[in-house]
Amino acid sequence: MTQHHVTGFEPPAASLLAARHGQPRFDLQQRALPAPTTGPLLQSFWMAGFEGADQINGAGMPLSMCDITQHRDQAAADYARLAALDVRAVRETAGWRLLDRRGKLDFTPLKSRARAARAHRMQVIWTLFHYGWPADLNVFSAAFVDRFARYARAAAAYLGEFSDHIPIYAPINEISFLAWSAGFGGNTHGANPAIAARGDEFKCQLVRAAIAACDAILDVDPRARFIHTDPLMHVVAPIGRDDLAAAVARRRELQFEAWDMLSGRRCPQLGGAPRYLDIVGLNYYWTNQWEFTTGRPLRWQFDDPRRMPLSQLLTEVRTRFGRPMMIAETSHSGVRRANWLREVAAEVALARNHGAPLEGVCLYPVLDRPDWNNTSLWHDCGLWHLERTCDGVLHRRLNDLYAAELRRAQHDGRTVLDAAERWLPRLRPALTAPDAASPAT
């Protein structure tokens, strides 16, 4: 197989990189399911995620969120600020569309972040495909899978030179969400009828690509771990529409489809196997609980009684897959940020207290970010606000309330009690009623 040219970089032979880390080569097909970790998988349980979407938006504008927020230029200072808050693990995006130009790979845009991470001893989880793909590729072609695998292999070889950590990669961000959004014009891409008409096929293609990328990366570094992310959701019927219960259940089940495919539970012809479903990444926002048919979010700030506790959702994922988990994205906006973090921390602590194998929580985005489809509209959602100075530099201003809540989550052991106190009033009527079949008085 011809190796694509990489500007300024020649990937080392897999055997040399493996030897550098003291790992023997082995048959990828014999790789067992990664063993449970004996220590923390991450350098810090609380992580920070830098927005890295790189798709072409609905208006036809190519995005590079890492450049829009100036994180690429300010990576060293951004990492230093995180280290001061005891955050030592981050999520970053490489960006396939940005690095692969008709098969020629140039990884120099990653250098400033990779060097800064090494200097500040920051652990990085790299996302390789964050919604954008090379424009010259047909997404349904075999070349799409092959070229992504070659890119993933070269990326792992390049990034492996900057760190001695056991590498963790997110091959494709949100397979299920991307398969829907790229076709029907969600908030990532404009509507694409060709993809929309073949949405299930596109999801299968993304799964094939993710599996091929895992194999390619393991050929470079057998120590590598993988996280596969998608939204964690809860869907309910509108009030009074019990007739929709079966349809709601089917819709809710779809959130697990990509993970089922990766593990080989579903569509085994795609090549999935348990070894590929390593770490389950759960992206969770307040809007992830919503009403079927209307699409209306279940209002978090008013405590809609149809909402399900996050700890219960995490227990469901644990029971289904039995794999390590991370909350790979979570945040709120405006004045609700600190309260949201308090609730997430409490629910996470409660779930861990009941045995959920949660390895970390990622505040995403850690820097404020603009809307993908209107880059003049900022979301007011980061741990740091971005304020443009007269020379065009985006100054970082810490949100003190959000930061204080983060410190509390990191160091305060009362979070389990907080979760119990939040949900116990809702459960108490059922617990204390003399007859569960009778209405409470």
- Tell me the C-alpha distance between 195 and 45, whole Å: 38
How is the chain split into domains, by residue range? 14-26+37-432
Residue 184: which pLDDT band, with cuts at 50, 70 and 90? confident
Using a 10 angstrom Cβ sphere, with 0-12 exposed, 13-18 middle and 19 or more buried, the burial of residue 430 is exposed
- Tell me the C-alpha distance between 232 and 244, whole Å: 21
Q: What is the pLDDT of residue 416?
A: 55
Residue 305 tokens, joined: 């009684």
Q: What is the pLDDT of residue 356?
A: 95
Please count the other Cβ atoms lying within 10 Å of the Cβ belonging to residue 199.
Answer: 17
pLDDT in tens, 201-249: 999 999 999 999 999 999 999 999 999 999 999 999 999 999 999 999 9
Q: What kind of fold does domain 14-26+37-432 have according to CATH?
A: TIM Barrel (3.20.20)
Give the DSSP per-residue string, 224-276. -EEEEEEE--EEEPPTT-GGGHHHHHHHHHGGGHHHHHHHTSS-GGG---GGG
pLDDT at 14 over 80: no
pLDDT in tens, 31-90: 666 655 567 999 999 999 999 999 999 888 999 999 999 999 999 999 999 999 999 999
> What does pTM read for this prediction?
0.88
Provide the b/e sequence for 52-84 (b: ≥16 CB within 10 Å): bbbbbbbeeeebbbbebbbbbebbbebbebbee
Interacting residues of 282 by C-beta distance below 8 A, sequence separation 6+: 229, 230, 231, 232, 314, 317, 325, 326, 327, 328
Q: What is the pLDDT of residue 341?
A: 96
